[in-house]
Structure 1
Amino acid sequence: MSRIIAGIAGGVPLASVPGSATRPTTDRVKEALFSRLDALGMVQRARVLDLFAGSGALGVEAASRGASTVELVESEAKAAQVCERNARTVNDAVGRRAVTVRRSKVSTFLERVPPGPHWDLVLMDPPYPLGEGQLAAVLSAVALRLAPDAIVVVERSARSPEPDWPEGLTHYADRKYGETRLWFAEPAPAESAAARLDAAEGA
């Protein structure tokens, strides 16, 4: 059973999406990801967007660790219902409505948000069948809606190719965990995340 790793709601179990429509992030990958993000100071008070949210496990983890706002975007009906359940669990734990759920296709949701500095952290765990061209289109839309020091994290199969980064994003790191690879990018041109990463790893 998936659970919240740390923060105010640490240890709280999360509902999972029934069937195989989604691919949940393992607790091992989630813990490694958030340890890295915490080292960069990218979670506390962040405005977080969780695309292709599935159960919402990544977004609610961010809320438990102190994110200011979290939006979970999921189009599949059963998954969106699980997102709502997990959002209520974490909102109750943190004592405020930190997490909201948007039942929508990712492309449609992003089209409705005007360009501008909306998010500090974007987490993306697209389904493996999503084509590379479709992923590139989503990344292009995301790039226009990031804060200057934002980070984008894309979770893919370790066998998938590197995402086709749009002009507005620069890939600066990736990490492999078993069958999963995490890709990290930031707005271009920028060097803040890479510089913070070097400092954190050198500490």
Structure 2
Amino acid sequence: MAKNSMRKHQRSSSSQNNKGSGSIRIISGLWRGRKLPVYDAEGLRPTTDRVKETLFNWIANDIPNARCLDLFAGSGGLGFEAASRQAEEVTLIELNSQAFQQLQQNAQTVKATNINLLNQNSLNFLKQEGQAYDIVFIDPPFRQGLLADTIELLENNHWLNDQALIYIETEKELEMPALPESWQLHREKVAGQVRFQLFIREQ
């Protein structure tokens, strides 16, 4: 993959309010208040603390003992937050090797026992036959056309439990691709140039 494409792929879920700060902050749970360093690559688009706090207020009761999947993990802001709040298992998928190494170091720093890290392309991962997850975070690079394929692979390859929660973060102006009929919009907000939505898979 071209170097520029790798930079775009690695960008994803970070809770920094300012990319230059070089860290994410865990809001709640076992590692509450901890700041973890972020690999500050060109093209990193952070998820703000405000958005992350809103999301986890929505799903707080569903996190304990859940199996979570964090696609396009970037800084790991969403995945680490879920793990801190005692998810049973959190799998983070990150393509960029340097961002992945930072995720490994951060997992060691907090002595995480419920985090799995995979250094690979999220779409390639989803092309396998899946083991169903309870909560999935989808925060792909903006304007790269990755969302439609991600949604299709998640649904068709059995990555989702019945009643799974699916979080999607996109650029505000994006026209959403077709969604499976079973995905029902539960919550939605816009913050700045970002739209974030939570779906429930109703079977």
Fold match (TM-score > 0.5): yes
Partner of 2:4: none
Which of 128, 132, 149 pairs up with 1:137?
Answer: 149
1:1-203 matched pairs, under 5 angstroms:
1-38=23-60, 41-90=61-110, 92=111, 96-112=112-128, 114-116=129-131, 118-131=132-145, 134-143=146-155, 144-189=158-203
State the secondary structure of the residue aligned to 2:141.
Answer: coil
State the secondary structure of the residue aligned to 2:153.
Answer: helix
Partner of 1:197: none
- What are the ranges of 5 or more consecutive residues in structure 1 without an aligned counterpart? 190-203
Aligned residues: 179
Distance 1:26 1:89 in 2: 22
Q: Which amino acid aligns with 1:171?
A: L
Deviation of the 1:162 alpha carbon:
2.6
Query: 1:87-138 CA deviation, whole Å, 9 max, x = no partner?
Result: 2233x1xxx52111111111111123x245x20000011000221xx31111
Q: Percent identity, aligned pairs only?
A: 35
Distance 2:29 2:180 in 1: 34
Q: Which amino acid aligns with 1:26?
A: T
State the secondary structure of the residue aligned to 1:130.
Answer: coil
Query: 1:158-190 CA deviation, whole Å, 9 max, x = no partner?
Result: 22223431345333331112222111222244x
The answer on whether the counterparts of 2:73 and 2:92 sit within 8 Å (CA) in structure 1 is yes
CA 1:172 to 1:163, structure 2 compared with 1: closer, same or farther past 3 Å?
farther
CA 1:81 to 1:21, structure 2 compared with 1: closer, same or farther past 3 Å?
farther
The answer on whether the counterparts of 1:60 and 1:86 sit within 8 Å (CA) in structure 2 is no
Distance 1:8 1:115 in 2: 29
TM-score by length of 2: 0.81
Q: Which amino acid aligns with 1:148?
A: D
- What are the ranges of 5 or more consecutive residues in structure 2 without an aligned counterpart? 1-22
State the secondary structure of the residue aligned to 1:58.
Answer: helix
The root-mean-square deviation of aligned C-alpha atoms, in Å, is 1.7
Query: 1:51-99 CA deviation, whole Å, 9 max, x = no partner?
Result: 0000111000000011000000011112211221222233x1xxx5211
TM-score by length of 1: 0.81
Distance 2:63 2:186 in 1: 18
The answer on whether the counterparts of 1:158 and 1:176 sit within 8 Å (CA) in structure 2 is yes
